[in-house]
Structure 1
Amino acid sequence: MRRTRRVSRTSVTRRVSRTPTRAKGAKGATGTTGAKARTASGTRRRAGNAVIATVTAVALCSGAWLLRNGTASHPPPQPSPAQAAPSRPGADHSAGTGPGTGPGTAALPPSPPDRVRIPAIGVDAPLMGLGLTPQGSLDVPPPGRKNLAGWYEAGTTPGERGTAIVAGHVDNKEGPAVFYELGALSRGRTIEVERRDGSVAVFTVHANEVYDAKDFPDEKVYGPAPRPELRVITCGGKYSKRTGYQGNVVVFAHLTAVR
């Protein structure tokens, strides 16, 4: 397990080094310096979103359970093509303006999230803040706590205008983890995020897609959004005993209610 994480962090460093050009156009950030800023300023906090895609895509995907148990284990479900965002020429799905995304509701002020619930797949988990390690990679939730997810606290808070990021393991060496069933989540289902200010932000899923790591669409997943957006990410795609999962499941959702 330790060996897998070392390899992952090396890969992360290489991919992050290619991110600044995209980040500058999307967020006004200039590489990892913007990603490390953890301030109350919305502009500086959101600067890290362009980096988080590649970091999460690598760090969460060792596939510890399948590596330990081989083909006898059941792989996690993967989203079907029917769950992808509807497409048309010129549609901007990264900004939540493509067809089929549905109406939203007004943005909330910033407030850290404490818990995420996805009733359709039985998720009810606490959230911890995720930052970056000294090497520049995402500090993922402890793999031993399988019912724990994290949110990127240098970025947008869920419910705030922009793109908020939640990530969690698909499994650990003991079995399925918090987002094992994420690939089965269908469009129209809801994701609830309890916030520290006492509100509950309710997001509606408008797409669920899987991507190979080598073709991960950073801008589509982590680009700026004109309304409150949420991305929930775990591992998925093809599986290799040598490298683990070779891609990511990404759920796209937007704020539709507040309780």
Structure 2
Amino acid sequence: MSRTYHPFRRAAGILPAIAVCVALAGCSSTASDTSPSAAGPASSAHSGSESSGSPGSTAPTRPPRAGKAEPVSPASVSIPSVGVNSTVMRLGLNADGTVEVPPAEQGMTVGWYTGGAVPGKPGAAVLIGHNDTRFGRAVFHDLKKIRKGADISVRDKAGKTVHFKVTGMETVDKKAFPTDKVYGSTDGSTLRLITCDGAFDANGHPVDNLIVYAALR
């Protein structure tokens, strides 16, 4: 992610808000780090993290399920083909409704957006990671090298591991983030990885987002 992350807010519903957030999260930039800004639901970093102009739409929070225990949260993610082996931190919403991104000082840690699905459960699970921060290379620096068919494994806090297969990837302009496609409902268990990509604008902010799509094996 760049020092200028843009959070995502969920517009009417989770999709619009999230799309914006994700778009900016996980980017690198030559400008000084700042926290992401919202455009719709924006996802900004935790206090002390970088943010500035991340796409954002406010993500909808899921109502508690009466009588049902919440699914076990993800604890770590591994992507051998691009050298990713990280613990997973929880990301929620900032006070302004933007989605959080990992703090710059934790650039080597992947974040899981708790407003989406739990990896391995029905729906779209979203993992956000920086490309670079002011501290240097970050966890998703080489994500653009991933290939279709690559394995992504996510282990939860109970010790169970689920595997996903990469089905595709795309680079999108942050101003045209495909919120519905990324955060919308899916027929099965899917995973989306998001980071920043592309050239920098006049303010030193990455103009694109890299999105990797994967399905449960």
Could you say which residue in structure 2 is the equivalent of 1:110?
71
3-state SS of 2:162 partner: strand
> Are the aligned partners of 1:67 and 1:241 in contact in 2 as well (CA < 8 Å)?
no
Of 179, 183, 196 in structure 2, the residue corresponding to residue 218 of structure 1 is 179
Query: What SS does the aligned partner of 1:52 have?
Result: helix
Give 1:50 shift: 4.7
Give the direction of change, closer, same or farther, for the CA distance of 1:4–1:204 in structure 2 (3 Å limit). Answer: closer
Show the counterpart of 1:251.
212
Task: Please tell me the root mean square deviation across aligned C-alpha atoms, in Å.
Answer: 2.1
Residue in 1 that maps onto 2:114: 153
Aligned counterpart, 2:102: 141
TM-score normalised by structure 1 residue count? 0.64
Structure 2 length normalisation: TM-score?
A: 0.75
**Which of the numbers 99, 108, 119 marks the counterpart of 2:80?**
119
Provide the identity percentage.
Answer: 35
Deviation at residue 110 of structure 1 after TM alignment:
2.9
State the distance in 2 between where 1:112 and 1:49 align: 21
**Alignment partner for residue 92 of structure 2, among 122, 128, 131?**
131
> What is the identity, as a one-letter code, of the residue corresponding to 2:198?
G
Larger radius of gyration between Structure 1 and Structure 2: 1
For 1:59 and 1:177, how far apart are their aligned partners in 2?
12
Q: Contact between 1:132 and 1:138, CA under 8 Å: does it hold in 2?
A: yes
Equivalent residue, structure 1, for 2:22: 56
Give the secondary structure class of the aligned counterpart of 1:144: helix
Q: Gaps spanning 5+ residues in structure 2: where?
A: 33-69
> For 1:207, what is the secondary structure of its paired residue?
strand
Q: How big is each residue's C-alpha offset from its partner over 1:50-71, in whole Å with a ceiling of 9 and x where there is no partner? A: 522211213444x24x337xxx
In structure 1, C-alpha distance between the alignment counterparts of 2:25 and 2:158, rounded to whole Å: 30
Output the amino acid matched with 1:235. Answer: C
Q: 5+ residue gaps in structure 1?
A: 24-47, 69-108
Decide which moves more: 232-241 or 110-119. Answer: 232-241
Report the number of matched residues.
178
* Residue of structure 1 in register with 2:188 after alignment: 227
Preserved CA contact (<8 Å) 2:131 2:137: yes
Q: Give the corresponding residue for 2:35.
A: none
Structure 1 ranges of 4+ moved more than 6 A? none
